């Protein structure tokens, strides 16, 4: 794996402070305030994604073995679309709102302004490094903030590329890429920011939230966890298997919304497995080990973690993924009859392993989900509306998705975020814009309101207080 050069943040501790100070000065100077300036930066960001797409695909092929088609569809294409759409929608988002108030207060002109928070820090992970870096940045630009973007050291070629190309397209006085490892990130976290947007795992989230708490910095935490799939017996099992397997194969299961485990009624388990086997053959006639349509595991450490979890399972492997540790490859692997305390249920799998847990009833599946941390997504396959409503009412998760996996991410107008252990705050388009801005409320009291206000002045009579 390539190593990352911490070019932007050198060894001098003051340099993090210098960068933050410079961005603060830009913000204070009002450069980012005009809507047209923000729109221009969003167009530039879209232009960068378009013009540098080959370099981006090459970098992600090198770092993650990511198929070019997947990078173009799930990262480059989405960034371009959302940057352009945000630019188009921005004037409407930024329009001051006039809330409904009582007739008595109308003349006070109650108004809500969307104000930029200031200078913000974005810390992104390795698994979808482009969309997860630029989606928050699009929101920060739209909101009128200045920002430092700290990409993941686990995708060094890509992160280096960002440091090279971002200054060519965006205003460097307002937006900076800072690369580095934990020490560099720690230096950034020592400083006061006006918002921190972190995407990654819950363990590091606690470190970041503690650093933010020192400065009372507001945060968005986009985390992960184990997203279950509930198979209700009314569903089309064959189609469910196809859609789940497709969702699981994206980025070799290394995505926060990847179906983590399946809960199926005991008597339907074998039918589901047959359907998985059939669709696996159709997706990968030669197997996934050498398929250019299937990605690699990000690091040796994660490859070892996955093979170790698999070696300890008490379940039965029914779709055997071959592994090639030298190339960090692992084929999709399906394990049946997985019990409550199995190794595969210990932690978020974040890889191409799919355990199947047989249950006795829908209520049993609901209890199983509710006994664990709130997932980022709850997937359920059912043709029964009352089952869907029961799941909406009786479970908690950041998102609940019926009859598909992964595709919820394509909806530009839905917020995406977690609850409890899967995080807080949300993103995507308007919701990311809102994360980086705050509602500044205002009234403007007219001179003519004086008779209406007369009773408040001192000395006040008891009658005036009662009235
Ligand atoms: P990662 O290892 O790339 O870490 C994420 C970021 O945290 C990186 O920029 C890294 O430099 C920084 N970091 C790591 N250790 C740190 C420390 N000690 N102090 C300060 N910063 C530190 O990525 P990861 O955490 O392995 O990402 C995978 C996790 O992220 C999974 O749990 C996944 O579910 C979750 N995730 C969530 C979303 C979402 O939108 N909800 C999206 C993608 C991934």
List the chain domain ranges. Answer: 9-224+427-438, 228-396
Are the CB atoms for 197 and 122 separated by under 8 Å? yes
Does ligand 1 have an atom closer than 6 angstroms to the CB of 136? no
Atom of ligand 1 lying closest to residue 124 CA = 9
Does ligand 1 have an atom closer than 6 angstroms to the CB of 224? yes
Q: What is the pLDDT of residues 208-236, one digit of tens each?
A: 999 999 999 999 999 999 999 999 999 99
Q: 9-224+427-438 adopts what CATH topology?
A: Aldehyde Dehydrogenase; Chain A, domain 1 (3.40.605)
Angle at CA of residue 186, ends 184 and 192, nearest 5°: 115
Contacts of 88 (CB under 8 A, 6+ apart): none
How much is the pLDDT for 467?
Answer: 60
Q: How far is the CA of 106 from the centre of ligand 1 (A)?
A: 47
Does ligand 1 have an atom closer than 6 angstroms to the CB of 432? no
For CA atoms 414, 415, 419, 421, the dihedral sign is positive
How much is the pLDDT for 203?
Answer: 96
Q: Which long-range contacts (CB under 8 A, 24 or more apart) does 447-456 make?
A: 448/107, 449/107, 449/108, 452/104
Contacts of 29 (CB under 8 A, 6+ apart): none
H or E stretch at 336: strand 333-336
How much is the pLDDT for 464?
Answer: 67
Interatomic CA distance for residues 288 and 65, integer angstroms: 13
Closest CA to 144 of 16, 277, 26, 38: 38
The residues that bridge with 120 in the sheet, in sequence order, are 147, 195
Q: How far is the CA of 97 from the centre of ligand 1 (A)?
A: 36
Q: How far is the CA of 23 from the centre of ligand 1 (A)?
A: 24
Residue appearing with tokens 């664990």? 372
Q: How far is the CA of 143 from the centre of ligand 1 (A)?
A: 24
Radius of gyration in angstroms for the set of CA atoms belonging to the chain, rounded to a whole number: 25
**CA atoms lying within 13 Å on the CB side of residue 154:** 17
Query: What's the first-to-final CA gap in the chain, in angstroms?
Result: 75
Q: Which residue CA neighbors atom 19 of ligand 1 most closely?
A: 182
Does ligand 1 have an atom closer than 6 angstroms to the CB of 209? no
Does ligand 1 have an atom closer than 6 angstroms to the CB of 254? no
How much is the pLDDT for 3?
Answer: 54
* pLDDT tens, per residue, the chain with 467 residues: 455 545 454 444 569 999 999 999 999 999 999 999 999 999 999 999 999 999 999 999 999 888 899 899 999 999 999 999 999 999 999 999 999 999 999 999 999 999 999 999 999 999 999 999 999 999 999 999 999 999 999 999 999 999 999 999 999 999 999 999 999 999 999 999 999 999 999 999 999 999 999 999 999 999 999 999 999 999 999 999 999 999 999 999 999 999 999 999 999 999 999 999 999 999 999 999 999 989 899 999 999 999 999 999 999 999 978 999 999 999 999 999 999 999 999 999 999 999 999 999 999 999 999 999 999 999 999 999 999 999 999 999 999 999 999 999 999 999 999 999 999 999 999 999 999 999 999 999 999 999 999 999 999 877 766 66
Catalytic residue IDs = 222, 256
Q: Same CATH topology for 9-224+427-438 and 228-396?
A: no
Coil, strand or helix: which one is 264? strand
Q: 228-396 adopts what CATH topology?
A: Aldehyde Dehydrogenase; Chain A, domain 2 (3.40.309)
């Amino acid at each position: 794996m390539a190593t990352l050069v911490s070019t932007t943040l050198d060894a001098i501790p003051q340099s993090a402070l210098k960068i933050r100070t410079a961005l603060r000065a830009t913000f204070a100077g009002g450069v980012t305030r005009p809507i047209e300036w923000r729109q221009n930066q969003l167009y530039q960001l879209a232009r960068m994604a378009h013009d540098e797409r080959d370099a981006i695909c090459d970098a992600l092929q090198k770092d993650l073995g990511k198929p070019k088609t997947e990078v173009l569809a799930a990262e480059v294409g989405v960034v371009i679309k959302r940057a352009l759409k945000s630019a188009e929608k921005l004037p409407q988002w930024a329009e001051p709102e006039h809330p409904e108030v009582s007739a008595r207060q109308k003349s006070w002109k109650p108004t809500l302004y969307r104000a930029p928070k200031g200078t913000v820090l974005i810390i992104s992970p390795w698994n979808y490094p482009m969309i997860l870096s630029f989606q928050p940045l699009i929101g920060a630009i739209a909101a009128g903030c200045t920002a430092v973007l700290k990409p993941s050291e686990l995708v060094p070629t890509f992160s280096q590329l960002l440091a090279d190309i971002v200054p060519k397209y965006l205003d460097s006085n307002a937006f900076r890429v800072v690369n580095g490892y934990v020490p560099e990130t720690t230096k950034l976290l020592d400083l006061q920011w006006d918002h921190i947007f972190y995407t990654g795992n819950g363990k590091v989230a606690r470190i970041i939230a503690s650093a933010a708490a020192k400065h009372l910095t507001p945060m968005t935490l986009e985390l992960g966890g184990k997203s279950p799939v509930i198979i209700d017996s009314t569903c089309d099992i064959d189609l469910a298997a196809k859609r789940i397997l497709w969702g699981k194969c994206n980025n070799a299961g290394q995505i926060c919304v990847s179906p983590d485990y399946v809960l199926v009624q005991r008597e339907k388990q074998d039918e589901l497995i047959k359907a998985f086997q059939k669709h696996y053959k159709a997706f990968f006639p030669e197997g996934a080990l050498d398929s250019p349509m299937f990605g690699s595991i990000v690091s040796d450490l994660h490859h070892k973690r996955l093979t170790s979890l698999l070696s300890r399972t008490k379940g039965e492997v029914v779709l055997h993924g071959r592994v090639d540790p030298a190339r960090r490859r692992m084929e999709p692997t399906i394990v049946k009859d997985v019990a409550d305390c199995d190794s595969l249920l210990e932690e978020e799998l974040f890889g191409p392993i799919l355990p199947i847990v047989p249950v006795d009833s829908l209520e049993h599946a609901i209890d199983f989900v509710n006994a664990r941390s709130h997932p980022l997504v709850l997937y359920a396959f059912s043709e029964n509306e009352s089952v869907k409503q029961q799941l909406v009412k009786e479970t908690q998760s950041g998102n609940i998705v019926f009859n598909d996996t992964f595709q919820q991410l394509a909806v530009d107008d839905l917020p995406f975020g977690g609850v409890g252990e899967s995080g807080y705050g949300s993103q995507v388009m308007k919701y990311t814009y809102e994360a980086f801005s705050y509602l500044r409320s205002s009234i403007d009291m007219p001179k003519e309101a004086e008779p209406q206000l007369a009773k408040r002045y001192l000395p006040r009579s008891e009658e005036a207080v009662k009235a």
